[in-house]
Amino acid sequence: MIWLITSALMFAVGAYGALTRRTAILVFLSVELMLNASALALIAFSNLTGSLEPQVVVLFVIAIAAAEVAVGLGLIVAIFRRRETTSVDDLRQLRG
Amino acid sequence: MNFSGVEILALVLLVGTAVMVVRLGNAVHAALALIANFLVVAGVYVALEARFVAMTQIIVYAGAIVVLCLFVIMLLSAAKANIGAEIMPALPWVGLVGAIGLAAVLIFAVTRFQPAGNVPALNGGLPQALGPLLYDPNRWLYALLVVGFLLLVATVAAVVLVEPERIIKATGHAAHPEGDGEPKPAKEKEVVKQ
């Protein structure tokens, strides 16, 4: 049970970071933290229910996080080359 | 609910390193705190009988993903975390209230969970136990193939995003035909006047 509470706290901390950080890379790290918290909750449920299926799901979460990092960091590098900044506040051309 | 000392220590370490990730002023230090967080999580996985997932966590998360982030931070010289102007001064407090509310709701939800009385053994979460599930056509095999294809597409996308000039040279297609994406407000004003 303590691991479920831990994962809830980690998820909230990651959400706080994703809301308040102004650098794109650090928003990214906060999202990784939230993904990791959800994976921890899945493993805790796996242990509490005696099922191996959540562990398989966590493997998929890790693989998809790797794909997300590849595309996300590619986007950050491409934006930095064109705009010379990684601040998310400067990237608001799409805001109406 | 009574917890052992090691569990309390792991909770403090996990939440402490998480707070360091979101609060430290140096991006490199934040990424190193994230590695510490992932290593503690891997230890917790071993304790929860998920050893294969723990090894994957260390190799892929702590070893590859965060190191990739560190490469990008140092490549872009973006170690300074608090860049740009503070356009919403109240945002940290609003974010703090939102995070506390989210934590309260999530803890309320997970403490309602009633674990079953006698749970079957997990065999330590070794590959011998996970493999038959992962490669069973009735369970996860096709999802595994789709994820493998997704990784391929993501890698190609990353290369195309970072090196558009080489793609243009090789194929003759302009990735961004209108030049840079800088807005041109002067032209738009002329159109409005006419």
ipTM: 0.90
Nearest to A29 among B34, B87, B134 (CB): B34
Least CB–CB distance from B72: residue in A19, A22, A25: A25
- Distances in Å between the Cα of B95 and the Cα atoms of A5, A22, B4, B30 are 20, 13, 32, 19
Answer whether B157's CB lies under 8 Å from A77's CB: no
CA dist A20 and A27 (Å) reads: 8
Cα–Cα distance for residue pair B175/B190, rounded to 1 Å = 28
Cα distance from A38 to chain B (closest Cα, Å)? 11
The vertex-B45 CA angle with B41 and B50, nearest 5°, equals: 155
Kindly determine whether residue B162 and residue A46, on different chains, have CB atoms separated by under 8 Å: no
Read off the pLDDT of each residue in B79-97 and give the average, rounded to a whole number.
77
Is pLDDT above 70 for B1?
no
> In the block, which residue shows the tokens 């996990």?
B14
Q: Which is higher by pLDDT, B75 or A94?
A: B75
Q: Which long-range contacts (CB under 8 A, 24 or more apart) does B9-12 make?
A: B10/A6, B10/B40, B10/B43, B10/B44, B11/A2, B11/A5, B11/A6, B11/A9
Calpha distance B18→B35 (Å, rounded): 10
Yes or no, beta carbons of B14 and A78 under 8 Å apart: no
Distance between CA atoms of residues B169 and A2, nearest Å: 56
Cβ(A10)–Cβ(A40) below 8 Å: yes
Predicted TM-score (pTM) of the model is 0.84
Beta bridge partners of residue B26, listed in sequence order: B80
Q: Report the pLDDT averaged over residues A27-53.
A: 90
B126 touches chain A (CB under 8 A): no
Neighbouring-strand partners of residue A87: A23
Give the residue from chain A lying closest to B152, CA to CA.
Answer: A67
Averaged pLDDT for residues B40-62: 91
Q: How far is CA B155 from CA A64, B65, B112, in A?
A: 12, 13, 41
Alpha-carbon distances of B56 from B59, B60, B77, rounded to whole Å = 5, 6, 30
Mean pLDDT computed over B61-80: 85
* Strand, helix or coil for residue B26: strand
Q: Which residues 41-70 of A have a C-beta within 8 angstroms of B?
A: 41, 43-50, 52-53, 55-56, 58-60, 62-70
3-state secondary structure of A35: helix
Helices marked H in B24-140: 27-47, 51-56, 66-75, 91-110, 127-134
Name the least confident of B38-52, B73-87, B139-153.
Answer: B73-87
In this structure, what DSSP letter does residue B87 have?
S
- The pLDDT value given to residue B175: 55
**A89 — pLDDT class (breaks 50, 70, 90):** confident
